[in-house]
C-alpha cells in the first residue's frame, strides 16, 4: 500500500470512529463543533460546559439585555448546522489526564478523547474583597445569569450605580445606566476610560463623551472598600481620594480571569495569560513541545502572531472565537500538510453613548497616534496607531466604513503615518504620543495583550505547591 | 428564531433596519442594536433584512426545529 493511501485510511478511520471532546460550550466551542461536522467528522463529539445554558452570545449582555430590551436568556446563538453532539451542560471540567486521554468532570465522570479542544474562556474578575463582593447589590458581568441579576437591579431604579473600571464593558454599562436615567459614577484607576486598549489620547475623548452624557466620571482614583447596611446590602463606597459615595448598586468591571485552573498539573503551557499554542491552535506543553492531540481556541488561546514580532497574543474578541474555533476544528481532523494557521487581524466593536467604536490591530503595540479622518469634535473620526514608522492599529468613532482601509494597511505593515486618505482628511494629521499606560501599572487590563515570546509563560504562572 | 449579527463585519449601512424595524435599531448614527431572539412571526421580515445586508453580517438559525440543540 502506498504511504498516502495508508494515511488517507487512517484519517477516514478517525473521522468515522474517533472521539473529540470540546471543553467550553460557548461561541468558540459551538463554531468548532459545527466546523468538525462540516469537515466530515462523524465520530463521537462531546461538548462540556460549566453553565447550564446552551451556547449564547455575550456582547448583547452589556447592552440590549441591561437596557431591558432583550431578556438575559434570549441570546442563544443561532446554529449553522446540526452538530449531533452529546452535551454535558452544567458540569465543569476539573482535570485533564493526558496519559489516559480523559477529561475529569466535577461529578466524577471521566470523558475519554482522541482529540481535545480547550475553549473554557474567561470569567469576570471578582471584587478583591470576598466579604464585600458577597454584599447584595454588588455585581460582576460576564454570564447571562449575571446579566439577568444586574438587569433586575437596574430596573428597580437604584439611587446611584457605581461602576468600578472604565474598560469597554464598564463604559457600555455606564452608557446604559444613563439611557435608563440612572445616576451613575464610574471610578477608574487610570487617567481616562479605555486607556488600556486605546491609550490616553482616545481616552480623553471617551472621558468627555461620558461627562457630556451625565456620567460622574472619577479618574485616577481607586475604590478602597464597600460598606453594607444591616441587611447586607451595599450602601457606601470609599475612594482612594478620601471621598465616600452613597450607592445602591456596584458593578466590578475589572477585566477577566482566564479559566485555566482545571489544567493545573496537566503539564501544558498554561498560566495567567491563557493556554499557549502554535499558529495552528495546537497546545504547547510546559517544555515548549507542541502536542498532537490538544487544541485551544477563543479567549484563552495564546498564539505567536506574525504581525507583532511573533509575540504570543491573547485576544478576547468575538471573531477570534469564531475563526479560532473553525481553524482548530479543521486542524484536528487534517493531516500535517493540510493544516491551516489562525492569524487573525484583531478586530473589535463597542457601542456606547450612541457612538460606534470599532478597531483593528493591536493599539498598545504602538506608541504614536494620528487622527487621519473626520473630526474629533464631532466624535466622528478615524485614527491610526504607529510604531517605528509602521501602522499597527486603527480605531474609528462612527467611521466604521473606513476600517477595512486601515486593516489592509496594517496587514501589509504599511508606513506610519499613513498616506493621507483621499477623502475626509482630518486637520493637520500630525502624529502625537498615544499615551498607553506602562504595562506594569495595575490598571484596567486591555482585552488584547501581547504576552512576550515565552511559550511556557513561567514568569507569571502561579503553580500550587504539591501537598 | 435565533439570530446573531457579526458586528465586526457590520459597517452601519442600516439597510436592514427598515425591513425589520422592531428587531433591528440604530443607537446613534452607526451602532446597530438588535433582538437576538425575535418572534417567529417576524421570520420573513428578518430573512429579508438578512438578505439586504451588503456585507452579509446577519446570521439566521439554520435549524428548523425550535431549540434543537443536537
Structure confidence by residue, pLDDT tens digits, A283-311: 999 999 999 999 999 999 999 999 988 99
The confidence score (pLDDT) of residue A449 equals 81
> Could you say which residues from 5 to 24 on chain B have a Cβ atom under 8 Å away from some Cβ of chain A?
6-8, 10-12
**Residue A1, Cβ density class (10 Å: 0-12 exposed, 13-18 middle, ≥19 buried):** exposed
Neighbours of A266 (CB within 10 A): 18
Determine the distance in angstroms separating the CA of B64 from the nearest CA of chain A, rounded to an integer: 10
Question: Which chain A residues in 30-59 lie under 8 Å from chain B, judged by CB atoms?
Answer: 54, 57, 59
If contacts are CB pairs under 8 Å, which of residues 32-51 in chain B contact chain A? 32-37
> Bigger pLDDT: B66 or B1?
B1
Task: Write down the pLDDT at residue A467.
Answer: 54
**Interchain pair A74, B37: CB under 8 A:** yes
Distance CA(A279)–CA(A343), nearest Å, equals 7
pLDDT of residue A428: 76
Per-residue pLDDT at A465: 56
Q: Which residues of B touch A356 (CB under 8 A)?
A: 12, 28-32
Query: Which grid cell sits at A173?
Result: 454599562
pLDDT of A461 = 44
- Lowest mean pLDDT across A151-165, A184-198, A426-440: A426-440
Is a pLDDT exceeding 50 seen at residue B49? yes
Is B31's CB within 8 Å of A77's CB? no
Q: Kindly tell me if the per-residue pLDDT of A460 is higher than 90.
A: no
- Chain A residue numbers with beta carbons less than 8 Å from the beta carbon of B12 are 356, 398, 400-401
What pLDDT shows up at residue A442?
Answer: 58
Q: Which residues of A touch B35 (CB under 8 A)?
A: 64, 69-70, 74
Closest chain B residue to A179 measured between Cα atoms? B27
Helix, strand or coil, per DSSP, at residue A29: helix
Distance, in angstroms, between A81 CA and closest chain B CA? 6
CA atoms lying within 13 Å on the CB side of residue A31? 22
Closest C-alpha among A149, A452, A445 to residue A299: A445
The mean pLDDT value for B20-39 works out to 96
Which residues of chain B does A76 touch, with a Cβ-Cβ cutoff of 8 Å?
Answer: 2, 36-37
Check pLDDT > 80 for residue B63.
no
- Could you give the residue ranges of the DSSP H alpha helices within A119-167? 130-133, 144-155
Contacts from A421-424 at CB under 8 Å and sequence distance 24+? A421/A372, A421/A373, A423/A373, A424/A373, A424/A374
What pLDDT digit, counting tens, does each position of A407-432 carry? 999 999 999 999 878 888 888 789 99
Q: Do A85 and B60 make contact, defined as CB atoms within 8 angstroms?
A: no
Query: How many residue contacts between A and B have a Cβ separation below 8 Å?
Result: 97
Over residues A38-76, the pLDDT tens digits come to 999 999 999 999 999 999 999 999 999 999 999 999 999
The predicted pLDDT at position A380 comes to 96
Q: What is the pLDDT of residues A311-341, one digit of tens each?
A: 999 999 999 999 999 999 999 999 999 999 9
Predicted TM-score (pTM) of the model is 0.94
pLDDT of A170 strictly over 90: yes
The verdict on A402 touching B (C-beta cutoff 8 Å) is no
Q: What is the mean pLDDT of residues A109-122?
A: 98
With 90 as the cut, is the pLDDT of residue A437 above it? Answer: no
Rounded Cα gap, residues A35 and A30, in angstroms: 9
Mark yes or no for CB contact B7/A349 under 8 Å: yes
ipTM > 0.85, yes or no: yes
Beta-carbon separation of B4 and A78 below 8 A: yes
Residue A95 host element (H or E): strand A93-97
Q: Supply the pLDDT for residue A453.
A: 85
Q: What is the pLDDT of residue B44?
A: 94
Amino acid at each position: 500500500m502506498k504511504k498516502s493511501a495508508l494515511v488517507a485510511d487512517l484519517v477516514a478511520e478517525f473521522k468515522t470512529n474517533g472521539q473529540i471532546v470540546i471543553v467550553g460550550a460557548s461561541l468558540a466551542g459551538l463554531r468548532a463543533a459545527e466546523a468538525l461536522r462540516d469537515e466530515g467528522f462523524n465520530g463521537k463529539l462531546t461538548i462540556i460546559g460549566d453553565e447550564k445554558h446552551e451556547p449564547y452570545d455575550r456582547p448583547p449582555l452589556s447592552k440590549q439585555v441591561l437596557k431591558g430590551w432583550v431578556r438575559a436568556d434570549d441570546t442563544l446563538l443561532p446554529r449553522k448546522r446540526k452538530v449531533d453532539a452529546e452535551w454535558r451542560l452544567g458540569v465543569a471540567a476539573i482535570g485533564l489526564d493526558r496519559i489516559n486521554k480523559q477529561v475529569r468532570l466535577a461529578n466524577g465522570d471521566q470523558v475519554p478523547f482522541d482529540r481535545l479542544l480547550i475553549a473554557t474562556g474567561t470569567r469576570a474578575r471578582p471584587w478583591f474583597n470576598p466579604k464585600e463582593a458577597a454584599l447584595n447589590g454588588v455585581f460582576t458581568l460576564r454570564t447571562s445569569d449575571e446579566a439577568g441579576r444586574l438587569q433586575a437591579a437596574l430596573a428597580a431604579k437604584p439611587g446611584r450605580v457605581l461602576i468600578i473600571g472604565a474598560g469597554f464593558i464598564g463604559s457600555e454599562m455606564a452608557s446604559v445606566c444613563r439611557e435608563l436615567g440612572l445616576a451613575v459614577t464610574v471610578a477608574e484607576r487610570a487617567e481616562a476610560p479605555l486607556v488600556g486598549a486605546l491609550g490616553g489620547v482616545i481616552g480623553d475623548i471617551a472621558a468627555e463623551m461620558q461627562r457630556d452624557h451625565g456620567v460622574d466620571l472619577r479618574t485616577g482614583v481607586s475604590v478602597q472598600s464597600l460598606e453594607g447596611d444591616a441587611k447586607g446590602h451595599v450602601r457606601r463606597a470609599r475612594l482612594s481620594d478620601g471621598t465616600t459615595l452613597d450607592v445602591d448598586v456596584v458593578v466590578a468591571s475589572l477585566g477577566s480571569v482566564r479559566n485555566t485552573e482545571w489544567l493545573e498539573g496537566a503539564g501544558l503551557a498554561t498560566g495567567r495569560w491563557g493556554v499557549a499554542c502554535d499558529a495552528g491552535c495546537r497546545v504547547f506543553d510546559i517544555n515548549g513541545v507542541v502536542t498532537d492531540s490538544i487544541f485551544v481556541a477563543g479567549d484563552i488561546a495564546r498564539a505567536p502572531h506574525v504581525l507583532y514580532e511573533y509575540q504570543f497574543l491573547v485576544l478576547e474578541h468575538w471573531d477570534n472565537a469564531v475563526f479560532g474555533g473553525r481553524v482548530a476544528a479543521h486542524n484536528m481532523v487534517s493531516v500535517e500538510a493540510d493544516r491551516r494557521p489562525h492569524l487573525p487581524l484583531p478586530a473589535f466593536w463597542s457601542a456606547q453613548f450612541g457612538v460606534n467604536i470599532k478597531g483593528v490591530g493591536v493599539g498598545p503595540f504602538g506608541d504614536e497616534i494620528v487622527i487621519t479622518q473626520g473630526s474629533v469634535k464631532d466624535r466622528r473620526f478615524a485614527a491610526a496607531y504607529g510604531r517605528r514608522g509602521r501602522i499597527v492599529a486603527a480605531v474609528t468613532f462612527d467611521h466604521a466604513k473606513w476600517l477595512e482601509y486601515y486593516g489592509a494597511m496594517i496587514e501589509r505593515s504599511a508606513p506610519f503615518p499613513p498616506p493621507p486618505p483621499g477623502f475626509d482628511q482630518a486637520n493637520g494629521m500630525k502624529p502625537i504620543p498615544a499615551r498607553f499606560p506602562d504595562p506594569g501599572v495595575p490598571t484596567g487590563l486591555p482585552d488584547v495583550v501581547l504576552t512576550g515570546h515565552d511559550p511556557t509563560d513561567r514568569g507569571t504562572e502561579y503553580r500550587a505547591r504539591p501537598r | 428564531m435565533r439570530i446573531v449579527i457579526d458586528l465586526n463585519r457590520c459597517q452601519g449601512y442600516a439597510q436592514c433596519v427598515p425591513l425589520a424595524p422592531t428587531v433591528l435599531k440604530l443607537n446613534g448614527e452607526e451602532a446597530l442594536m438588535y433582538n437576538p431572539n425575535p418572534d417567529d412571526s417576524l421570520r420573513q421580515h428578518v430573512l429579508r433584512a438578512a438578505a439586504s445586508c451588503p456585507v452579509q453580517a446577519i446570521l439566521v438559525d439554520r435549524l428548523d426545529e425550535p431549540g434543537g440543540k443536537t
